[in-house]
Amino acid sequence: MKINWGTSIVLVFIGFISFILYFVIKMNTNQNYEHDLVTEDYYKKELAFQDEINAEENSKTLTKDITVKKKAEGLVISFPKDKNYNDIKGTIFLYRPSNKKLDIKIPISLSDSTFVIKDQNLLDGRWNITIDWKYQGISYLFKKSITY
């Protein structure tokens, strides 16, 4: 059987379309390729964005800001020493961009001016740290991206 060039072009198109459809169906049905938003409450967070901007501006007025360092025991977060650590309240949020299931949210409870996140809770890779804290009714916000 002899195939002319017109039939060959049609066969190539059919093969290409089949190839594309196979991958579209595979990507939509496989649970390993979940399609997640960055945050679940995107619109709710957007409404509170001005409060976040104000808290970041308050952080810029501090004489000494929060420091984050990787040490042997884990991730050490040091709050300003000129603030009374008993009056500091808030949350520490560790966001893992590659896997939503690894995100960690920890309430701040200090026994001194440092807070330690144990090494076994953190995997190697990129983390976005957001520390939302209040001191004497004033909100502060610290954001940093680190590679652990």
Domain range list for the chain: 1-35, 42-147
Rg (the chain; Cα; Å) = 25
C-alpha–C-alpha distance, residues 121 and 93, integer Å: 13
User: What is the pTM (predicted TM-score) of this model?
Assistant: 0.68
**How confident is the model at residue 21, as a pLDDT?**
96
**How confident is the model at residue 11, as a pLDDT?**
94
pLDDT tens digits for 41-72?
777 777 888 888 999 999 888 888 889 998 88
C-alpha–C-alpha distance, residues 94 and 118, integer Å: 13
Q: Which CATH number fits domain 42-147: 3.30.470.10, 2.60.40.10, 3.20.20.80, 1.10.3720.10?
A: 2.60.40.10
pLDDT tens digits for 117-140?
888 878 888 899 999 999 998 999
